[in-house]
Amino acid sequence: MEIHAHFSLKNHNTFGIEAKAKKFVAVHSITELKTVLQQNPTEKKFILGGGSNMLLTQDIEALVIHVDLKGKRIVKKEEDFVWVESQAGENWHEFVLWTIDQNFGGLENMSLIPGNVGTTPIQNIGAYGTEIKDTFISCEALSIDKQENKTFFKGDCHFGYRESIFKNEAKDQYIITSVVFKLTKKNHAINISYGDITTELAKNNVTNPTLKEVSNAVIAIRQSKLPDPKELGNSGSFFKNPILLKSDFKKIQQQFPEMKYYDISETEVKVPAGWLIEQAGFKGKRFGDAGIHKNQALVLVNYGGATGQEILNVSKNIQETIFKTFGIHIEAEVNVI
Ligand SMILES: Cc1cc2nc3c(=O)[nH]c(=O)nc-3n(C[C@H](O)[C@H](O)[C@H](O)COP(=O)(O)OP(=O)(O)OC[C@H]3O[C@@H](n4cnc5c(N)ncnc54)[C@H](O)[C@@H]3O)c2cc1C
């Protein structure tokens, strides 16, 4: 385990931004992780997974700890369910594919989301009608200051839309080291009602899909819609879809009757941020090497040489324009560092 000084993070963030870590270390075991924390008690710490949900706007004046803990195992078998544990540093998509290969159901709609397993509870990742909270049992986390282990059960995590305790009360206090999911062994709850999954399956004449077929459909849709960070730097959806009280939304709707929305509760609606950004004329726009993707208005991109600050400026421009135009505040989903 080597600590590197002035380490470039360009290959450790999917935006492909050049920024340096004051110090950088990759840890491959809990023992290594505890040692690093114990040996550097006063150093500021920054935890790094796959770097797919962050915009680096400056160098990181901290010890960057890249959590690279590997391994997965079945921890419990029940008649209909199986409990699977993955270490935090496993790649999420590879883990999903592994569960599908075992015929374990529950994660297939979240195929091809970048990043690591240990990060999934932080923003309660989700796609195509499924969120991590639907299968999450617990995660193990190490406190940064005392190196004490704590188990966070689902009820402790305060999961919400791209939210959890780890983005709020427990922010920057814990390092998640492993996660346990409860998956189906049979009678899989196949969910193809969301987005274009049914259309994609119909192309292949599939009417009663297996887990693998759902996963393949999700992969095909995502590949057709989202830019691959290896080819065009990005961090997925840059903004969250704003949630509004129905009473507030009705007033806005009087002025913009064509505004898209989804009912999410008796009192709230969700407005697609991508639609707002597109209506405000940003889709496909480019400002130097920073821009808005031509097919996905919610995705900000780095055409190569953009700095984090340039991408942040574009995001602020979008936020201000949306607020001026519609009176709606859109919040970043990506962690701005
Ligand atoms: C092309 C693309 C598509 C995407 N699609 C989706 C999608 O459909 N749905 C979705 O929800 N997200 C999506 N994302 C966002 C991203 O993939 C997820 O948020 C993912 O969970 C981030 O994981 P990561 O390991 O890369 O996190 P990182 O970017 O490394 O870290 C994110 C935050 O978590 C902290 N952190 C990292 N690891 C740990 C740990 N072990 N313990 C404590 N804190 C930690 C970091 O300090 C940082 O604040 C997409 C991203 C891209 C690039």
Mean pLDDT by 10 residues, the chain (337 residues): 95 97 97 96 96 97 98 96 98 98 98 98 96 98 96 97 95 97 96 90 92 97 94 96 96 94 93 96 97 96 96 98 96 95
Q: Whose CA is nearest to atom 19 of ligand 1?
A: 53
Q: Rounded to the nearest whole angstrom, what is the distance from the C-alpha of residue 334 to the centroid of ligand 1?
A: 8
Maximum separation of any 2 CA atoms in the chain, in Å? 60
pLDDT, residue 116, reads 98
Is the distance from the beta carbon of residue 223 to the nearest atom of ligand 1 less than 6 Å? Answer: no
pLDDT, residue 1, reads 83
Report the phi/psi class of residue 251: left, alpha or beta, with left for phi > 0 and alpha for psi in -120 to 50: alpha
Q: Whose CA is nearest to atom 14 of ligand 1?
A: 236
List 65's β-bridge partners, or say none.
25, 47
Q: Is 258 a catalytic residue?
A: no
Q: Rounded to the nearest whole angstrom, what is the distance from the C-alpha of residue 179 to the centroid of ligand 1?
A: 15
Q: Whose CA is nearest to atom 12 of ligand 1?
A: 125
| Side-chain half-sphere exposure of 197, counting CA atoms within 13 A | 26
Q: Rounded to the nearest whole angstrom, what is the distance from the C-alpha of residue 291 to the centroid of ligand 1?
A: 21
- Catalytically annotated residue among 111, 178, 237, 315: 237
Sign of the Cα pseudo-torsion (194, 72, 12, 34, in order): positive
Q: Rounded to the nearest whole angstrom, what is the distance from the C-alpha of residue 187 to the centroid of ligand 1?
A: 30
Q: Is 333 a catalytic residue?
A: yes
Exposure letters 18-53 (e unless 16+ CB within 10 A, then b): ebbbbbbbbbeebebbeebbeebeebebbbbbbbbb
Q: Rounded to the nearest whole angstrom, what is the distance from the C-alpha of residue 42 to the centroid of ligand 1?
A: 26
Q: How far is CA 44 from CA 7, 22, 65, 81, 170, in A?
A: 16, 10, 10, 41, 16
Is the distance from the beta carbon of residue 308 to the nearest atom of ligand 1 less than 6 Å? Answer: no
Q: How far apart are CA 164 and CA 153, in angstroms?
A: 12
Q: Whose CA is nearest to atom 20 of ligand 1?
A: 115
User: Ligand 1: which atom is nearest the Cα of residue 175?
Assistant: 42
Q: Rounded to the nearest whole angstrom, what is the distance from the C-alpha of residue 4 to the centroid of ligand 1?
A: 23
pLDDT, residue 316, reads 98
Q: Which of 12, 33, 53, 108 to mutate to test the pocket of ligand 1 (most atoms within 8 A of CB)?
A: 53
Is the distance from the beta carbon of residue 175 to the nearest atom of ligand 1 less than 6 Å? Answer: yes
Q: Whose CA is nearest to atom 39 of ligand 1?
A: 119
pTM, two decimal places = 0.95
List 259's β-bridge partners, or say none.
none
Tokens of 282: 């940003």
- Asked if residue 16 lies in contact with residue 10, where contact means CB atoms within 8 angstroms, the answer is yes
